Amino acid sequence: MARLAGKIAVITGAGIGIGQAIAKRFAVEGAHVYVTDINGETAADTARAITAAGGAATPMLVDVSKGQDVTALIRAIETAHGKADILVNNAGILIRGEVRSLSDADWTKLREVNIDGVLRLSRDALSLLKKSSSASIINISSIMANRGLRPLAAYTATKGAVTALTKGLAVEYAPFNIRVNAISPGYIETAITDRLLKLPPVRKALVDKTPMGRLGLPDDITGAAMFFASDDSLYCTGSDLAVDGGMSAGL
């Protein structure tokens, strides 16, 4: 039996990468997936792939840094289904650079997507999640949330905020029977890491630091996402699960 049958799942940044992999996995497990992305074409492509495989998906162009986009998403789900069961706050951006040379505009962009977007979706979706018998919010953080790394101090600060917000929301939302957990990936081969991982010395160094001897793929995150989305994690909230091939354990 499909483990997410009858569930309504909302995934941000689901047009490519980790979000796309989670969307496809949830659809296979029976969820109706709202595939949201700042790129409407990639959202539509992912939704088409899901429906072609026999799943249910609705694509929507959503910029999580814009309140009106989030409002439109919530209204669409309310009209169509009246509830939501799973929210995956996956959308994120990476801006490299030393803090001493970071522009206000770049910091604002990082904050608006990586922190404000998570808070906004978690806040605005509450009315829908409260109508679920077993709701789950899954925030995609990073193992870098608890480490300093040049030149990513600003990025790691935003992910640290996501981890902290996860714990705060877990306590606040527990009375509503809404679980809130985080997944902290290591280095995963996606568009956001592509330029970095194409540098042979960097790639070798990162693989050497990973006890399992390889970098991750988007599909490697889907098992953890399924655990937190399903009833297997009914007594888990406020957790932060590293999915990194052992990198954080070995550092």
Q: How far apart are CA 27 and CA 55, in angstroms?
A: 5
For residue 70, the tally of other CB atoms under 10 A from its CB is 21
Catalytic residue positions, numbered: 155
Nearest alpha-carbon partner for 115 in 163, 83, 150:
163
C-alpha pair distances (Å), 10 with each of 83, 92, 188: 11, 15, 22
Nearest alpha-carbon partner for 26 in 13, 6, 38, 9:
9
C-alpha pair distances (Å), 44 with each of 37, 59, 73, 163, 209: 9, 5, 15, 30, 37
Judged by DSSP in three states, 57 sits in strand
